[in-house]
Amino acid sequence: MKILVTGGCGFVGANLCLSLKKNGHKIFSIDNLSRKSSYLNLKSLRKNNIKNYKFDICNYKKLLKLRKFDIIIDCCAEAAVEVSKKDLDRVINTNLIGTFNILKKAKKDNSKIIFISSSRVNSIEEINNLVKNRKNLKNLRLKKKINEKFDTLKPKSIYGFTKFASELLIEEFSYAYNLKYLINRCGVLSGPMQFGKQDQGFVSLWTWHHYLKKDLVYIGYGGNGNQVRDVLHIDDLTDLINMQIKMFNHIFNKKFCVGGSTKSFTSLNNLTKICTKVTGNKIKFSKQKKTSIYDIPYFVTDNYLVKKTYQWAPKKSILDIVKDNYKWLINNKIQLLKIQRY
């Protein structure tokens, strides 16, 4: 199949491009290369004869000139929740207008859509309500996992709003124009080709800082590092999407919660222990007790529906994820230091 991946030089997009290429598809990428780190991933795409179109997804005229594609996978996004509060125009344009442009292109060419959404579409208030004592998370138990029926109507962050609004747009296009789609609400993703910066994900950041012996900060909820997240290895996500493509003619117009679930979840404290074990380095931590309005104490995905539909489940543990991150980071240390100016 001919497949277009938006944000193809980003972490998720680049991994998807390479995985889909290995599975015999003809892959194309769109990425405006606005991040310095994108050029490192671009080299990997070029080595595998994957063409990247360098332009912004908001440029509909350029998008319209591209060939027809069987499937468009939309994973282009300004992904950092805190950044979304500071740069509204960029987040709205990329995450919402960009998706709108992709939908118009898909409508014109009768392409199928796979949308990489986010667990951040869920209500912060309702997630907080899962944990009664948010100041003491040490003895938190996994009483409830979060599935497709969880509340999405209350505030969730500007970033989360753009993802949820995009989901609604996709459903409206499907209803009006018979567009076939799949939506994957992904939690925390991590793995190779993820750079050790804050807006790239906390697991990679933790691993990179331990390797460089650079201090970190436990932020929020008293600064004790007891917040819990599940983490999905990027290889597990690409495996799922390859399955979805194979079965697209039979399974479509559905949304799935996709995460590490109970296979791979961790507190920040536990992640610190794992990073110390993998890298052999201990680092110092300071505390920032104040909690951001966008932070949540807990998130573990309920994968029941996607598991039942595709017979899929995460294979890699949080230890596997840190090990794979560490291997990739040290193999690309020189380039990363240049990019990040450490």
At residue 342 the predicted structure's pLDDT band, cuts being 50, 70 and 90, is: very low
At residue 141 the predicted structure's pLDDT band, cuts being 50, 70 and 90, is: low
Number of helices followed by number of strands (H, E) in the chain: 14, 13
Taken in order of first residue, the domains within the chain and their CATH numbers are: 2-340 (3.40.50.720)
pLDDT for the residue 83: 64
288: β partners: 219
For the entire predicted model, the pTM comes to: 0.95
Q: In this predicted model, what pLDDT tens digit does every residue of 6-17 receive, in sequence order?
A: 999 999 999 999
Rounded to whole angstroms, the Cα distance separating 91 from 164 reads 13
Average pLDDT value over all residues in the chain: 92
Q: What percent of the chain has pLDDT over 90?
A: 80
For the record, the structure tokens of 12 come out as 């998720």
Q: In this structure, are residues 202 and 276 in contact, taking their beta carbons and an 8 Å threshold?
A: no
Determine which helix (DSSP H) or strand (DSSP E) holds 29, and give its type and residue range.
strand 26-30
For the record, the structure tokens of 221 come out as 């909820």
Q: In this predicted model, what pLDDT tens digit does every residue of 17-53 receive, in sequence order?
A: 999 999 999 999 999 998 888 999 999 999 999 999 9
232: β partners: 189
What average pLDDT does this structure show over 311-323? 97
CA dihedral of residues 183, 67, 3, 57 (deg, nearest 10): -50
Q: In this structure, are residues 33 and 55 in contact, taking their beta carbons and an 8 Å threshold?
A: no
DSSP string, 273-286: HHHHHHH-----EE
